[in-house]
Structures are given as C-alpha cells and as structure tokens.
Structure 1
C-alpha cells in the first residue's frame, strides 16, 4: 500500500481551487529560500499582485480569511466566520473522538485528554515543552501523552520540530509542537476562549505556525528534495530565530518570522553564528520581496504561495 499525505492547502492551491487562478511562483520562492536568488521571485511577485487586483470576484480580505479560517476546501467559500470556525473545530473533534479510537483503540478518557491537550497547546507559545510537563498539565501519564502526540501527528493535526543540535543533545531536548494550520489553532481558541496572550503575540504565533506549516508541507511533498527543519537552541532567547532549515550538507538557513515592525538584528546574529550564506525574514509588514546584503525580506502573503 502506498500512502499519500493530504496536507492543508497553501495559498497557491487555495487560489487555484477557489478562483481557478494558477501561479508557478512556488519554484521561484524555493530558489529564494534555499539559494538566496530573489530576481525571478520579485518578477513573479509583481505579476501575482497585479493578477489578483484584476481577478474576478477576488476580495482584498481573501488572504486574511484564508490565514485564520482557511486551509481546507470545506470552508473555502464560507463568508460567515462563525460557520467556518465551527466546521474546523468539529472536524478536529471528529478526528479526536472517532479516528484516533480506530487507530489505537483509545479509551474515552484518553480521547478526552487528547482534546484537553490540543486546547492547552492552542493557548501557548509553540516553545519546547516536555511530555512530563504536558502530562502534569492535563493530569495524566507521560506514556499517555506520548501516545496522544504520536497519533495527533499521524492524523496531521499537529507536527513537531526538533532542536538544531548534535545527536546526544537532540535526544535530551524537548520538541516544539505546532498545529497543521493557523486556522486549527484559531478554531480551538475561538471555541474555548483565548488565553492571556495579547493580540500582537497571538497574531505572531499564528504567523509562525503558517510558516512552519508551509515548510513541513514542502518537505513532505513528493515533488521536492529532502531537507530538515529545526528550531534554534541559542541560549539567549532574544537572539533566537524561529526556524533553521538545512539541505543535505549545505549551510543552514535561518528564518525569522515577525508580526509588526521587525528589524534584522536577530537574523544577522543567526547568520553570523551559523556562518550562513543568507537569512530570511518573513513578516506581515514587509510590502515586497527585498534583499539587503545577505538578509531577504518576504511578505507573509507571498511566502504562503510556496
């Protein structure tokens, strides 16, 4: 039996299905990320922006709706956000209460713990956290948490990223967990109420989740080469970048995700630390692709087309 992973829609696929609009900018963005070549991506970016201005029935809020309520064909045409988040949440609930049980004969109590675990993950930063800490939080065993996390990954509701470190250090450090799309995280928080994280921080977490999701889906693509995704283990929190990617024996590429005004101090520090040829800053305030020395700035909307 051959298994094909069915991943959430990136924005290119969303535009194709919803508006029958096709762009091949993805290949140019891949070249930008891994090789630092921006010229072709800039040309395609201008074309895409012009096309969307003239695209029939395309609304200026389409990307914002995709960001918080999209990623799945079932909610693509919903104009009512309440209906969209309900569909997304009940899809998640169905996977946990029905699909997980058929995969591993989970008890009703374990399924309840799975929902509680997802609620807890939805209201926090995607930082590294031990399975013992998660077990204490939802008052169950570390073994149960391990089983739940493994099954949630197999159903593609969440994914994990390991630390950029040697084999021994990687075995000791915790993993970082992310939801498959920002819309799943947003649906859970909308259902149960938002945590104490302020709006700016919350939007930043959603952006980081979207970037991580795009990278993981690209890695799992049948048409693409193999590469690895890590999180930064630097001791100084303010100097950490969000993601580190590495292809084969090539140099690492640091990626920083920012919501609001974002300077280049973190990415420059990471470029120096890892001796990288270039680094990427992805933010919601960057208007167009721009390369300044060895730092490449990319708008989040354009990156989501990759």
Structure 2
C-alpha cells in the first residue's frame, strides 16, 4: 500500500473507532470486571503519560477468548474517560481487518499515523494492535519503537501466536505478558469482589518447587474453596473463560465455538494448512481428550486419522503455538534411555471438559472423566509455573508418578490422587528431598515426613 492509501484508511478508522469501542463495551456491560493484566498495562501507561519512557512496548500473548481484546477496549476507554487523552492520539488497529488490504508493512501505518496527522514533536501517542498473530514477527517493530524519534509512542500488541513474539533482543522478554484462562483466584475476585492476594500463586510456587513451608499461613484459600466448592467444580469445567454464558449447556457450546474459531482462524497464522488438514484438526483434538493419553504416539494418531505423521506433528506444533495445548516430555533417571511419546494437555480443563461431555455420557463414566480433568488441571498449573530454571516432565518409568518437576539442582516427583507408596518409591528413585501428593478431598495442606499433601483445588489457584 502506498502512503496515500494508508492515510485514507487511518482517517476512516479514526472517525469510527471511538463509537465502535463504546458500543462493544456497552454490549459487554458497564460492570464488566478487569483482569490483572489490565492493571499492569494501565500502570505502565500512567508512567508513560508522566514522562517515564522506559517501558513503551508490551505484548499480550494468550489463547483466543481470554479477554485480550476486552483489555484493549478498557484501556482505550480509560485513556479517553479518565486521562482525557484525545481520541486522535489513540490508534486501535485490528490486523484481521488489515488482511483485507493485501500485503503491508505495519511500520508504514505507524509512520503515516505519526507523521501525517498533525502531531507535535513531543505529543504522546498510544497504539493498540489487536490480532497480532497475523504478523510474521515483531523485530521490525522492536527497532522502530526503540528509535529516538519514536520515544513519545506507547504500543501494546495482543495476539495468540507465540512464534510471532520471538524477538531478536532478549532485553524485551519482560515485555511479553502471558495470559491464561482465569484461575480460581481471578474467578472469585471478578465474581465476588474478593480481595484475595495474587501472592498466593507465588507462595504455592515456592511450596511446590522449593519446598518452602514458611508461607503456608499466607495461602488462606481453604475457606473460600469450602464456601464455593460447587462453583470450583463449575469453574474447572465451564467458567475459566471470561464473558461466557452462565448456563452450563450454553457454556459447553460457547467453549466449542472458541475451539472452532481457533482452528478456523488461528491455525494458518502458524502454517498454511490444506482444507483436509484443517478438518482433521477437529478429530485430532477429540482423540487427545478421549483416548488413553499414554497410548497416543504419533504413528497411532496418524493411523487413526489416516494422515501422515508429519501432518499430525504439524497440527500439534500449531496447537501448541496458538496455546490451546502444551506437551510434556518423558523423564527417567540419568543414564537411562527412553523412547516414549510426548503427552499433550489442554491449557484449560474447560476445553477437555466440553469435548468429553459431547462425546460421552459422563454420568456413566464420571470417575474416568473426573480423573482426566484432575490430572490436566495439575499439569496445566505446573506448566504455568515453568520458567528458565524449571522444566516439567512425566514419569516414564513403569507405574511411575504422574509428573516430575526438575531444575539443575533438584527433582520433585508429583502424583495425583494416588498413594504414598508410589510417591515414596519415586522419591527414592530420583533421590528427591520431597514429593508432592495432590489429593482431591484433602481440606488443608499437610506435611508428613518428606511428602507435602496439597488439596487439588489449590492447583486451580495457579
């Protein structure tokens, strides 16, 4: 696109975007609550408006449907209503719409907006870019935002494709805000205005990964969980995505709609899939829910779907990068070799629950269903705790525990709704200081010998 076409597009956009966002927020309801990430970004915007130009580039990354676009709308409204920033100084770009224009360079839009709309040299500009998974990468934006002539510009990108956010500069790693479906703390805070500290997550992380028990008294969630046990069950099955209908049947339908949108809209942001491959993405996700997870080697998936192992591998890779799935690799003691398939889990148990409930009668298979949801919940929580110092594995030994959390210095075996004998065997096998046993009906965290017993609902707080 040439400069004239870009300017015309932006002029038309700026005429209508304020009313568009107002109508969207009105439709959602004026009392819609704000997630933690909203406040993180709001505080950074406030610093920018007060001439602190240290951090002016942020990326919200997370699966479709968790509220990234809503946060951009809320921040737009905050700038207009509370900070009284003129609407001409706020640009909201939806890259799904820009696809209609053919090939383009995003920085060309930024330059035309900055240079051709009458801004003074020191005038501040805020840019929101939605559906940014449609960009190949953000390295050109990184260079653009860091140039001296653009110090008065603040940019937030929001999208689902983690590949797009592989930046050349390691210094920008802190700009990526990873968003996940609601945990139970956020659910209670949003629905009941509880002021439960988000430090609970940090304290649980220290307990699980480091065995630090000094902060146990700072994990005061049991009263809330007891009071809202039915809602906890509802949360892990139906309500980890904000703004969905409250009726369980409708929530299942809405969850499946999100899953279908991910397949239809987001897969191609990773790679170009044929129509057949995209159609086979649906039964592939079903297989990952319904089949015994330990038997899901690539060749079995390929045979069942009647496609090549390469196509299965490409689909799984895409699902991980649009953040509906994650994988866990096998682990055995050092010095031993292992050739076992990766295990795949859903980032939200809500997907697993919805697919399961339309495929089977859970009233006749409830034990199997609940066990599957419980293990996925623990896997997802441990995955969210991963960082550069810790990795998550599954125990590849015969009759082993469910998970192994490993750092350079220690190994922590984790089992779910099992018995002490299996966990004690793993503690001895891996020379671990302690192990974690996740128990469904436990009322409080307990420590006996070298085992830390944690109630299953506490993992939904992570």
Please report the TM-score for the alignment, with normalisation by the length of structure 1.
0.86
CA contact (8 A) 2:222 2:443 kept: no
Q: Deviations over 1:56-100 (max 9, x none)?
A: xx744211111111221133xx43100111111110011112221
Q: Which residue of 2 aligns with 1:140?
A: 307
Please report the TM-score for the alignment, with normalisation by the length of structure 2.
0.58
Q: Any unmatched runs of 5+ in structure 1?
A: none
Q: Secondary structure at the match of 2:293?
A: coil
Q: Which of 5, 8, 11 does residue 184 from structure 2 map onto?
A: 11
Q: Any unmatched runs of 5+ in structure 2?
A: 1-137, 139-164, 166-175
CA 1:179–1:51 in 2, change beyond 3 Å: closer, same or farther? closer
Cα distance in 1 for partners of 2:362, 2:438 equals 25
Deviation at 1:28, TM superposition (A): 1.7
Q: Which residue of 1 aligns with 2:275?
A: 108
Q: Secondary structure at the match of 1:74?
A: coil
CA 1:197–1:267 in 2, change beyond 3 Å: closer, same or farther? farther
Cα distance in 2 for partners of 1:254, 1:52 equals 25
Q: Which residue of 2 aligns with 1:87?
A: 254
Cα distance in 1 for partners of 2:391, 2:221 equals 29
Cα distance in 1 for partners of 2:420, 2:390 equals 25
Q: Deviations over 1:86-129 (max 9, x none)?
A: 11111001111222134322122111111010011111233253
Matched, 1:150 2:313: no
Matched, 1:44 2:218: yes
CA contact (8 A) 2:445 2:452 kept: yes
Cα distance in 2 for partners of 1:125, 1:304 equals 23
Q: Which has the higher contact order (CA 8 A, sep 6+)?
A: 1
Cα distance in 1 for partners of 2:424, 2:377 equals 23
Matched, 1:257 2:416: yes
Q: Deviations over 1:133-154 (max 9, x none)?
A: 1100111111110110000111
Q: Which of 360, 371, 389 does residue 204 from structure 1 map onto?
A: 371
CA contact (8 A) 1:291 1:297 kept: yes
Q: Which residue of 1 aligns with 2:238?
A: 69
Cα distance in 2 for partners of 1:88, 1:67 equals 12
Q: Which residue of 1 aligns with 2:340?
A: 173
Q: Deviations over 1:1-28 (max 9, x none)?
A: 3554332222222223333322222222
Q: Secondary structure at the match of 1:201?
A: helix
CA contact (8 A) 1:285 1:299 kept: yes
Deviation at 1:51, TM superposition (A): 5.5
Q: Which of 244, 253, 273 does residue 404 from structure 2 map onto?
A: 244
Q: Deviations over 1:156-183 (max 9, x none)?
A: 111100011469945x431011111211
Deviation at 1:44, TM superposition (A): 2.7
CA contact (8 A) 2:362 2:369 kept: no
CA contact (8 A) 1:101 1:107 kept: no
Q: State the number of aligned residues.
A: 286
Q: Secondary structure at the match of 1:304?
A: helix
